[in-house]
Amino acid sequence: MSYIPIPEDRHFRIKRIGYDPGRSRPWLERLVYSLYVFAFWGFVIATYAGVPALFDALGWTAGWGYVVMRATQVVLLFLLSAVIALMLILALRKYLGKVQERYGPMHYGPAGGIQTVFDALKLLGKEDFVPAAADWLTFRLAPAVTFVSSFAIFAVVPFASGWTLADTNVGLIYLIAVSTLSTYGVLLGGVSSGNKWALVGALRAGAQMVSYEIPLALVFLSVAVWGGSLSLGRIVDSQMGLWNVVPLFIPFVLYVISSLAELKHIPFDFPEAESELIAGYNVEYSGMSFAFFFLAEFVELFLLPALIVVFFFGGWHGPLFGLEPGTLAAGALQSLYFTIKTAVWVWIFLWIRATLPRYRDDQLMEFAWKAMIPLALFGLVLAAYMRLIWR
């Protein structure tokens, strides 16, 4: 059916953008979204190899120079986390669209590739509003605490051998502490909002995250027992021949489940539960404060799969094709392996999110205390036993 164009004097004429969506272009989508993975890789190389090389060339390697170098890396990682959040939100929307037989974002950029940049600009432009019933200081602090506690995990994640901000020998304890801290921002946000839904959401979030903290910590312990160190770098080193996923299969499964709960993702999204709690603990937030909650969630969506790769899938290990370990080229290749493994795990998390329905609240807690924790203890004892026998 065709019409002669609508006359000019009708002001309800639709603006037609010069864009032909008549055919879907899967190859373009695949190209754009793979390019994003490589852009991320470039960012990692710049942060972990470029900045130290630059400061070496400048001669600032001791004292305050070292502090400035680390600070530069942290700033770059902050930018990287913003980029990660933008990419992952886009990937989530696109993937959920595909799964639900929609197209997802497709109007801005090739295959919708820069849609989330516009979303972020929209959030920047919105009014940041503090409700009258809220305690403004804690209300303002909560998004910052949430974001910092997610962002702080970056400090110990090894992207390649030696490419980490702080390869401390207490990395695992630090991880437990930081992931406990992320509960804190959520609780603060919910309590200070002065809103019933926010309070209920925060209580649920607190109960859920504290419960799933325990199997998570026990899984960390099994990994430490098997790897013989609390340092993430050395845990990856110890997986040279055999990835941990084989001997530590039970802790691996438990880790995937409890990190889904940590992420507050479907099937464990009670704290947000759009259908019953509107958005849970962040219901009163708008503008940039809300954006920080979002940012934290999606940075965690990157970091927890990254930790799966570190703990169970050999981190940066992969064929090096005769490159000398420790050189720039070897580091770049290793970080590429790490990036690709992480991307696969992020995809699996999105896949789970697209598939499963929400659990029931009491079933969730029952599952944590009656199934996860005993199994995690069993896995810990098994790991210790196997270490005694085989190593």
Partner 1 sequence: MSLTAFYLLAVFIIAFAVVAVTATNMVRAAFSLAVTFFLIAGLYLMLGSPTLAAIQFMVNASAIPIMTLFIIMMTQSRTTPTPRLWQMVLGFIAAAAVLGFLRAAVEHGESQTTAASTAVLGEGLLSAALLPFEVASVLLLLAMVGAIALARRRAG
Partner 2 sequence: MSLLSEVWQAVKALGTGMATVHKRVYEDAPTEFYPYVQPDLPAVSVQSLALVENEDGSERCIVCLQCERACPAQVITIERHRNPEGKGFLIDRFDIDLVNCMYCAACVEACPVSSIVTIQDFEMSTYDLHTLKADIDFLHEQSRRSRRWYSPKFGVEIRTDDGKIVKAPPEMQPGGLAELLKPAEEEVDQ
The entry of partner 1, partner 2, none that residue 170 binds, CB within 5 to 8 Å by partner kind: partner 1
365 is an interface residue for partner 1 by CB under 8 A: no
DSSP labels, 51-105: HHHHHHHHT--STHHHHHHHHHHHHHHHHHHHHHHHHHHHHHHHHHHHHTTS--S
- Residue in 72, 138, 238, 286 binding partner 1, rule: CB under 8 A: 138
- Residue in 143, 206, 227, 379 binding partner 1, rule: CB under 8 A: 206
Give the single-character DSSP code of 4: P
Q: Are the CB atoms for 308 and 256 separated by under 8 Å?
A: yes
- Residue in 31, 54, 75, 102 binding partner 2, rule: CB under 8 A: 102
Site string for partner 2, 335-354 (x = CB under 8 A): ----------------xx-x
User: What whole-number distance in Å separates Cα of residue 103 and Cα of residue 111?
Assistant: 9
* Tokens matching residue 359: 């659990």
135 is an interface residue for partner 1 by CB under 8 A: yes
Name the minimum Å distance from CB 190 to partner 1: 8
- Residue in 37, 51, 279, 356 binding partner 2, rule: CB under 8 A: 356
- Residue in 82, 114, 123, 141 binding partner 1, rule: CB under 8 A: 141
- Residue in 174, 243, 318, 320 binding partner 1, rule: CB under 8 A: 174
- Residue in 177, 246, 328, 348 binding partner 1, rule: CB under 8 A: 177
Name the minimum Å distance from CB 236 to partner 2: 28
Name the minimum Å distance from CB 108 to partner 2: 15
DSSP labels, 9-39: T-TTPPPPPS---SS--HHHHHHHHHHHHHH
Q: Helix or strand or coil: residue 43?
A: helix
16 is an interface residue for partner 2 by CB under 8 A: yes
Give the Cβ contact number of residue 267 at 10 Å: 17
User: What whole-number distance in Å separates Cα of residue 293 and Cα of residue 378?
Assistant: 35
Return all residues near 208 (Cβ < 8 A) that are at least 6 apart: 261, 264, 268, 270, 271, 364, 365, 368
Name the minimum Å distance from CB 112 to partner 2: 13
- Residue in 8, 10, 275, 319 binding partner 2, rule: CB under 8 A: 10
Tokens 């272009």, residue? 25
User: What whole-number distance in Å separates Cα of residue 49 and Cα of residue 318?
Assistant: 19
The entry of partner 1, partner 2, none that residue 20 binds, CB within 5 to 8 Å by partner kind: partner 2
User: What whole-number distance in Å separates Cα of residue 124 and Cα of residue 288?
Assistant: 6
181 is an interface residue for partner 1 by CB under 8 A: yes
- Residue 273, Ramachandran bin (φ over 0: left; ψ between -120 and 50: alpha; else beta): left
44 is an interface residue for partner 1 by CB under 8 A: no
User: Which one of the spans 36-44, 112-120, 202-210, 349-357 is the region binding partner 1 (CB under 8 A)?
Assistant: 202-210
Site string for partner 2, 43-82 (x = CB under 8 A): ----------------------------------------
20 is an interface residue for partner 2 by CB under 8 A: yes
User: What whole-number distance in Å separates Cα of residue 384 and Cα of residue 139?
Assistant: 44
173 is an interface residue for partner 1 by CB under 8 A: yes
- Report CA-CA distances (Å) from 142 to 175, 185, 292, 296, 311: 20, 5, 9, 11, 30
User: Which one of the spans 101-109, 120-128, 195-203, 225-233 is the region binding partner 2 (CB under 8 A)?
Assistant: 101-109
The entry of partner 1, partner 2, none that residue 187 binds, CB within 5 to 8 Å by partner kind: partner 1
Return all residues near 336 (Cβ < 8 A) that are at least 6 apart: 41
- Residue in 165, 176, 340, 356 binding partner 1, rule: CB under 8 A: 176
Binding region for partner 1 (CB under 8 A): 63-64, 67, 135, 137-138, 141, 168-170, 173-174, 176-178, 180-181, 183-184, 187-188, 191-192, 199, 202-203, 206, 210, 230
